[in-house]
Amino acid sequence: MINKRLVAAVPGARRYVILDALLQWLALVAQMAMMTLISLCVARVVRGGVSGSGISDVSGVSGVQGPDVARGIAYSVGVSLLLAIVSAACIAAATRMGYRAAAMAKSVLRSALFRKLLALGPAYDQKVGSSEAVQMSVEGVDQMEAYFAGYLPQFIYAMAAPVTLFAYMCTFSPVAAIVLLAGVPLIPIIIALVQTIAKRIVSKYWNSYTSLGDSFLENLQGLTTLIVYGADKQRHEQMDKEAEGFRRVTMRMLTMQLNSIAVMDLVAYGGAAAGAIIATIQMRNGSIDLAHALLIVLLAADYFLPMRRLGSYFHVALNGSAAANKMFRILDLDDMPSGSASPDSADKRIAASHMSFAYAVPDDDAQGGVMAMASAAAGKRTAGKTRPAEGNATQTETGAQSHEMRVALTDVSFDVPDGAFLGIVGGSGSGKSTLAKLLCGRLDGYTGSLVVGGVEVRDADSAGLMHHVTLVESDSRMIPGTVRDNLMMARPDANDAQLQAALHDVRLDSASDERLALDTVIESNASNLSGGQRQRLALARALLHDTPVYIFDEATSNVDPESERVIMRAISRLARKHTVIVIAHRLINVRQCDSIIVLDHGAIAEAGSHADLLALDGAYAQLWRSQQELEAFATPSEEAAAEGIISEGSASVGASSGGIASEGLSPEEITSEEITDGNETERTQR
């Protein structure tokens, strides 16, 4: 009934829990004294003592005679009120202690979750779903309030209260004390019987809840893709079924709670009634007087109410315990390994030798599921085949997930000299983004050799690697705040002149139509910025980071032609002094690179300059011709933008650590697939 690991995880909360229970016990003692006083007073009044010779033992002062009767009653009422105030003060103080215990528990557990996510590194979503992480750190942690503020103190108090009442009642009615105490264990027995069923139901509830949250996040992030492929209705129907399943398991849990509460109420109030019956029988037999009979009736309910409240808190505690078990599953994950070697800032070389990488498919691959269903709806694949989204889990057409290891890269070898400008191209799922994340240290577990800055990546210090490599992805994250706040993430000591210079380099200064002031407010997820502004701002932040190596993973995906031209010109200027790697689907963005690597199913299929690869007349040349045919459908402004993208010389580029990207098919991927598959080109003409 007690989650020992959860209690041990917050040792500082124990004293508040104990104080809470102790204060409740003191309130009970005050109530017992008050009820004793009231019982004696009422009994004396009923016997006609008000008009008789006196009131003995009513106020605790014997020998009070007729003229002093009113004074005795007033004294009794005053003491009773004082005891009531003491009891209320103890209850209020107990509530404060419970609040402190809950606040400490939530703070400790939430901090532990955030520290664990940081320790897992940027690739935390390979081990735990983003939706689950959010749910556990918010609602899951909030469940601890009822556990620490309600259940744990009540558990201690419910054990102490019946024993205290039994000891006191034995002084005047041992029979009633024994009978009432014998009925108290019935409630814990009911709780124990319910616990077996309740654990299973609550576990299903949380699994259904987190699964529904994952599906919602998946559908929201992939909504555009679903609409493009006409799969939104299918996904809508699937989510309706999941929501209905969650509703059903919620109702089962509530039904179980209400049924058990009804049984506990029957025991509690039945026990109180039994106390009244025993008191009546004993009074008729002359075993006790009226005062003690009244006292038994008043105290009988307090025998059972602490256990009854414990039963109510038990159901809430089950939710908290189930949430805690899910949190501990996250906390038990192995941290991302980090070495102690720091890359040499003067060494901008990158080298891979027979490097391979595979990883287990996660349980909640959002984008992969969306793309699988979208592709199935579009008739892109035959039944039973799979086509994983790059960097994600293998998915079947129905969205079912494989739990086998997925090979992402196989025997990859290449050498990027100091200051080189490297382009990496390939189809979706070929391993481009996986390679970028390996270079940044976001993924671990590769075999072979991967050297950045003269240091093996697996042996590199995480902080040192982040100061050596900068990654700009297609969906860089922006924090709510101002433009200045987002830029200073890269260089906290930057002054306004340096920030303005970075904005000028990406044409977001006052001279541009897309200008952003340093104090411009950025809303959540940069929803008030256009796609082009967002990517330019991400590039400005990367420029401020000023690392030896930069990696641009689809940095121009889903931006307007003007922003694409600005970004590629900035990358070309950056390549003069840094090692730069550009990952792209539009080959026009890599044609000026010193060397181009073509990845196919995780292996290097071709390598060389743009001219060499065209002369080879292989996969690169075929894709180039396909894209050139597509460019014939572009508008004049798009053609001008495309021609102006690479207008400056190239030098060397490196890698980066930026935001978290959502991997999926960009418009260019959709375009190239439709051409190579020989499908209709109407969709590509948009």
For the CA atoms of 146, 150, 151, 157, the dihedral, rounded to the nearest 10 degrees, stands at 170
Q: What angle do CA 162, 168, 174 make, to 5 degrees?
A: 90
The answer as to CATH 3.40.50.300 being correct for domain 350-361+404-685 is yes
Q: Of 550, 548, 540, 534, which Cα lies nearest the Cα of 501?
A: 540
**Most confident stretch, 62-66, 88-92, 234-238, 439-443:** 88-92
**3-class secondary structure per residue, 115-153:** HHHHHHCHHHHHCCCHHHHHHHHHHHHHHHHHHHHHHHH
Q: Say what the pLDDT of residue 404 is.
A: 66
Average pLDDT on 99-127 reads 86
Residue ranges in 383-422 assigned as alpha helix (H): none
448 pLDDT tier (thresholds 50, 70, 90): very high
Residue 595's alpha-carbon distances to 77, 409, 518, 578, 590, in angstroms, are 95, 19, 37, 15, 9
Token pair of 199 as six digits: 């654990």
Regarding beta strands 455-456 and 603-608, do their DSSP bridges make them parallel or antiparallel, or are they unpaired?
A: unpaired
153 pLDDT tier (thresholds 50, 70, 90): very high
Q: Of 143, 140, 163, which Cα lies nearest the Cα of 151?
A: 143
* Per-residue pLDDT tens digits for 590-634: 888 999 999 988 899 989 989 999 999 888 898 888 888 877 665
CB-based contact 408:402 (threshold 8 Å)? no
Residues in Cβ contact with 141 at an 8 Å cutoff, skipping those fewer than 6 apart: 106, 109, 110, 113, 323, 327
Distance of alpha carbon 205 from alpha carbon 213, whole angstroms: 12
Q: Of 432, 425, 417, 450, which Cα lies nearest the Cα of 650?
A: 417
Distance of alpha carbon 533 from alpha carbon 560, whole angstroms: 10
User: Taking 90 as the threshold, does the pLDDT of residue 326 lie above it?
Assistant: no
For the CA atoms of 72, 75, 76, 79, the dihedral, rounded to the nearest 10 degrees, stands at -160
Distance of alpha carbon 493 from alpha carbon 558, whole angstroms: 32
Superfamily for the 4-331 domain = ABC transporter type 1, transmembrane domain (1.20.1560.10)
Average pLDDT on 185-214 reads 77
* Per-residue pLDDT tens digits for 48-107: 554 444 334 444 444 444 555 566 677 778 888 999 999 999 999 999 999 999 999 999
Distance of alpha carbon 323 from alpha carbon 135, whole angstroms: 10
Average pLDDT on 394-406 reads 47
Distance of alpha carbon 297 from alpha carbon 55, whole angstroms: 22
Q: Of 436, 685, 683, 670, which Cα lies nearest the Cα of 558?
A: 670
Residue ranges in 348-425 assigned as alpha helix (H): 366-377
Question: In the predicted model, what is the mean pLDDT of the chain?
Answer: 78
Do the domains spanning 4-331 and 350-361+404-685 agree at the CATH topology level? Answer: no
User: Which residue do the tokens 């469940």 mark?
Assistant: 143
User: Which residue do the tokens 């109407």 mark?
Assistant: 682
Regarding beta strands 521-522 and 481-482, do their DSSP bridges make them parallel or antiparallel, or are they unpaired?
A: antiparallel
User: Taking 70 as the threshold, does the pLDDT of residue 327 lie above it?
Assistant: yes
Q: Of 572, 586, 584, 575, which Cα lies nearest the Cα of 639?
A: 586
Distance of alpha carbon 660 from alpha carbon 107, whole angstroms: 26
Domain positions in the chain are 4-331, 350-361+404-685
Q: Say what the pLDDT of residue 511 is.
A: 65
Distance of alpha carbon 152 from alpha carbon 16, whole angstroms: 10
For the chain, percent of residues with pLDDT exceeding 90: 20
Distance of alpha carbon 329 from alpha carbon 323, whole angstroms: 10
283 pLDDT tier (thresholds 50, 70, 90): confident
